[in-house]
Structure 1
Amino acid sequence: ADCRANLLHTIPSDAMRTDALAQFLVQRRWTDVALISGAHPRDTAFADALRASIAKFRLRLVGESDWVFDADMRRNASAEVPLFTQDFKEHDVLLLADEIGDFGRYVVYNTWLPRPVAGSEELVPQAWAPVVEQWGAAQLQSRFEELSGREMQSEDYAAWAAIRSIGEAVTRTGSAEAATLRDYIFSDAFELAGFKGSPLSFRAWNGQLRQPIPIVTDRAVVATAPLEGFHHQGNELDTLGRDAPETACTAFGG
């Protein structure tokens, strides 16, 4: 609701990321999930997005807990985490909302039930990751690493997409006027080749860059959403995140 018409978003929203993960869980028929959330505001926001995606895709949240440990878990995780997770009802996947990387690594392989972990740890929906290599991405990755001396992360990809969007608009319109570039970016003529297998474009109702979401582990891309079987009357990328009827943003005229 606090959106601004002069601010466009190239980083995916939490809702886009959690919708991508929810699609994957539905496709695998892992319908019963439990959730552990951290206390940081980023954790809280991601947990809220996970709950919304669980409801949107008709998964079942069978239990949730807040991470309550303040002590160093490096020595105690194998003793504490099983006890902490033993009260969860039977579930297929354990979701973690740990966006600052505080506790998730201690939960993996220490749960009471042997279950896959997803969300902020293990199986993670990301804008970008070093393991993304298809559709020419390997070349983008290598160019970035050569220039920066490190691997390309989600924030780097979003920055690249922002500058590339402006560059594409300047090239196509021959203009440097902000209003002209903005009109072109929101037109049907604009497409951004984003190394994700689908042309990227901006949503006219909230300025969000619609884009596929890789679901990754540290070593591989497991899937890329939107997944087969999830349809939209306009653009299937709009199955991820806030669609036009769901947005509270009015600054864009929606």
Structure 2
Amino acid sequence: MLNIADLPEASTALLFNVSAGAPDLRSGNCRANVLHTAASDAMRTDALAQVLVQKRWDDLVMIVGTHAADQSYAEAMRRSLTKFGLRLEGEKTWVFDADMRRNAAQEVPLFTQDFGDYDALILADEVHDFGRYVLYNTWAARPVVGSEGLSAVAWSPVIEQWGAAQLQSRFTEQNGREMNAQDYAAWAALRTLGEAVTRTNASDVATLRGYILSEEFELAGFKGRPLSYRDWNGQLRQPIAVAHLRALVAQAPLEGFLHQVNEMDSLGLDRPESMCEVFE
């Protein structure tokens, strides 16, 4: 993303990040020509942390994978837990390289036994390497959340309210599969451009970018409230679904989690937390 954004020919372009969740892209490594329709890892982990607070699941443990995406998610999760007054009681790194299809029922209980008792187990497995084998194989019968189980995602096929069922069905009919979070981010990017062009009757990047980052811009995103962009780092404000494979459980920000400007800014890096300066 950064290599593309830093190309000379991209200096006068407007780019959309539809897949990378790294918080640093919205902070110290932000770029003025990059807007983010993909939810950041921090937005997703903040959403999950709000649910943990609401359910009073405050005795937490976490298993972290070794991939870069796993590490980024785990770091965002630690930050979110601190932000909402929670903390980890235990953490382990997943280091198995055996075939878990045969060994999960034996290895996972032993691996999780020394966690003792807890309210919920957080999985940082963004590449979906091992998490599916942890479900229902833990030593203690407790909820699994994070990258597997109860997950915070920008979009899920189980979202059907707010007119989303029509968007889901149109996508499935056209593509022969269900719509995922990256698909939604790409759709939101194109809808953003369409909305900006329609409202401004312009096509130059400076005018479109200025309008997109202004208070006048709103995007109908099938999430129950209008979406807008944070003018300090180019991140699309959006509710985050907390769901499992079969149903939507909650949508963050949850009731009671307030913000002095916009409740959706309780998810992810707020203005004082972001070190992005190129948007000022």
- TM range, smaller chain: over 0.9
Unaligned runs of 5+ in 2: 1-27
What is residue 76 of structure 1 aligned with on the other side? 103
Are 2:115 and 1:88 aligned? yes
Residue 228 of structure 1 corresponds to 255
SS at match of 1:182: helix
* More deviation, 83-92/111-120: 83-92
Paired residue for 1:156, among 172, 183, 187?
183
Structure 1: unaligned runs, 5 residues or longer: none
Matched ranges for 1:45-84 at <5 A? 45-84=72-111
Q: Aligned to 1:173, which of 196, 200, 207?
A: 200
Q: TM-score, normalised by structure 2?
A: 0.90
The CA distance in 1 between the partners of 2:174 and 2:137, in whole Å, is: 39
1:2, distance to aligned residue in structure 2 (A): 1.2
Share of identical aligned residues, percent?
66
Q: Which amino acid aligns with 2:128?
A: G
Q: Counterpart amino acid of 1:46?
A: Y
Displacement after TM superposition at 1:21 (Å): 0.1
SS in 2 for 1:192: coil
- Matches for 1:60-209 after TM superposition, within 5 Å: 60-209=87-236
CA–CA distance in 2 between the matches of 1:188 and 1:12?
Answer: 20
Matching residue's letter, 1:56: K
Deviation at 1:248, TM superposition (A): 1.1
Q: Give, in whole Å, the separation in 1 of the partners of 2:182 and 2:41.
A: 14
2:254 counterpart letter in structure 1: L
TM-score computed with the length of structure 1 as normaliser: 0.99
Is the 2:32–2:278 contact (alpha carbons within 8 Å) kept by the matching residues of 1?
yes
Distance 1:59 1:159 in 2: 33
SS at match of 1:76: helix
CA deviations on 1:65-112 (whole Å, 9 max, x unpaired) are: 000100001111111111101111431000000001100011011111
Q: Amino acid of the residue matched to residue 52 of structure 2?
A: L
| Structure 2 residue aligned with 1:244 | 271
Point out 4+ residue stretches in structure 1 off by more than 2 angstroms: none
- What one-letter code is carried by the residue in structure 2 that aligns with 1:134? Q
Aligned letter for 1:213?
I
